[in-house]
């Protein structure tokens, strides 16, 4: 039998940029232990059953399947979320959307809408930080709505709810103080769609027309009908789309438009305020 340390040192994941982290996460899952266990007990030898489970997970990772899908969960903000292949995997860049929303809107009661909620990551992060807000997440995929609701129930966040809706279609005349979205924004011919973890994620959550802006155009065009006077619209987008998104916001009548940069220095989100 090999020790934990030997297994980690000998594990080969040549196509992963985070090979060591991947191996640690998968081995910890096979052992049903936290990652800290690997460092505390490096000399321990896994059982044959645990080695088999680790080998199966390594095989899936070597085929390119994302670690989050293999494990069935992913951390976002301060939350641990269930994930599944019919939803986008929450990413650290999207936390900028949460940070900005919390900065813009006061902690007093607000109605907030998260469009294309997926796992519920953005909605649940906001609900966890603002107990006085009522946060609604919508998604056009029933399985995503059910997944987001399971995450809500497990996190016991009573100020969040999830509803089936393709963007604003099922919202009637409802209005909100804040609308946030991480919509599809990748162009249909983008070469990155055939690379890395993205190959396993749902294309409907990634691709938005020839220039990647189809869904953002729709959201910007319809959001004024669902914003309270003085309300904000915040959108995540591609690293090279900020200027185009600001132009769309300005043309639709939004004021105070701006973009904000992620940790990599890219303009990752753009926002605007509907006139009071």
User: Do 24 and 161 share a domain, yes or no?
Assistant: no
Do 178 and 113 contact (CB within 8 A), yes or no?
Answer: yes
C-beta of residue 246 within 8 angstroms of C-beta of residue 206: no
Quote the radius of gyration of the chain (alpha carbons, Å): 20
Tell me, yes or no, whether 135 and 259 share the same domain. Answer: yes
| 156 shares its domain with 198 | yes
Measure the CA dihedral 223/229/235/241, to 10°: 90
pLDDT at 196: 60
**What is the pLDDT at residue 198?**
57
Pairwise CA distance, residues 46 & 253, whole Å:
61
Q: Is the same domain home to 99 and 234?
A: yes
169 in a structural domain: yes
Percent of residues, the chain, with pLDDT higher than 70 = 91
Residues 6+ apart with CB under 8 A from 272: 232, 233, 246, 249, 250, 252, 254, 255, 256, 257, 258
Cβ neighbours of residue 110 under 8 Å, at least 6 residues apart? 130, 132, 133, 134, 177, 178
In this prediction, residue 187 carries a pLDDT of 61
Q: How far apart are CA 67 and CA 20, in angstroms?
A: 12
Domain boundary (63, 96, 112) is at 63
- The CATH number of the domain holding residue 244 is 3.40.50.150
Can you give the pTM of this predicted structure?
0.88
Residues 167 and 207 in one domain: yes
Shared domain check, 252 and 150:
yes
Within-domain flag for 253:
yes
Say yes or no: 105 and 48 in one domain. no
In a domain, 121, yes or no: yes
Could you tell me the mean pLDDT of each successive run of 10 residues in the chain, 276 residues long?
89 87 94 93 93 94 91 94 91 94 89 97 97 96 96 98 97 97 74 55 58 89 97 94 96 97 93 95
pLDDT score for 64 = 86
Examine residue 68 and state whether it is found in any structural domain, yes or no: no
Which pLDDT does position 74 carry in this prediction?
93
Residue 80 lies in a domain: no
Look at residue 78 and tell me if it is in a domain: no
- The total of structural domains in the chain comes to 2
In a domain, 77, yes or no: no
Residues 105 and 208 in one domain: yes
44 & 104 share domain? no
**10 Å Cβ neighbour count for 61?**
22
Residue 199 has a pLDDT of 57
| 183 and 105 within one domain | yes
Q: Are residues 258 and 250 in contact, defined by beta-carbon separation less than 8 angstroms?
A: no
Helix, strand, or coil (residue 228): strand
Domain that holds residue 119: 86-273
Q: Say what the pLDDT of residue 153 is.
A: 98
Q: Are residues 13 and 114 in the same domain?
A: no
Clarify whether residues 20 and 125 are in a common domain. Answer: no
pLDDT of amino acid 45: 93
């Amino acid at each position: 039998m090999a020790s934990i340390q030997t297994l980690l040192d000998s594990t080969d994941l040549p196509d992963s940029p985070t090979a060591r982290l991947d191996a640690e996460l998968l081995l910890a899952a096979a052992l049903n232990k936290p990652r800290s266990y690997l460092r505390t007990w490096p000399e321990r030898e896994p059982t044959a059953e645990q080695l088999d489970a680790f080998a199966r997970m390594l095989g899936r990772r070597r085929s390119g399947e994302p670690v989050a899908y293999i494990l069935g969960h992913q951390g976002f903000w301060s939350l641990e979320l269930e994930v599944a292949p019919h939803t986008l995997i929450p990413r650290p860049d999207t936390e900028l959307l949460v940070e900005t929303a919390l900065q813009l809107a006061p902690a007093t009661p607000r109605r907030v809408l998260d469009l294309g909620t997926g796992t519920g990551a953005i909605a649940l992060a906001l609900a966890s930080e603002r107990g006085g807000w009522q946060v609604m997440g919508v998604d056009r995929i029933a399985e995503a709505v059910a997944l987001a609701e399971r995450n809500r129930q497990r996190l016991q966040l009573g100020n969040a709810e999830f509803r089936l809706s393709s963007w604003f279609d099922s919202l009637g005349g409802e209005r909100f103080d804040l609308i946030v979205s991480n919509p599809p924004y990748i162009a249909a011919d983008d070469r990155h769609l055939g690379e890395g973890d993205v190959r396993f994620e749902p294309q409907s959550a990634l691709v938005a027309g020839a220039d990647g802006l189809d869904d953002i155009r729709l959201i910007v065009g319809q959001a004024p009908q669902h914003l309270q006077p003085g309300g904000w619209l915040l959108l995540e987008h591609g690293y090279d789309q900020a200027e185009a998104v600001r132009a769309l916001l300005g043309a639709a009548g939004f004021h105070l438009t701006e973009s904000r940069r992620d940790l990599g220095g890219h303009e990752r989100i753009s926002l605007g305020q509907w006139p009071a």
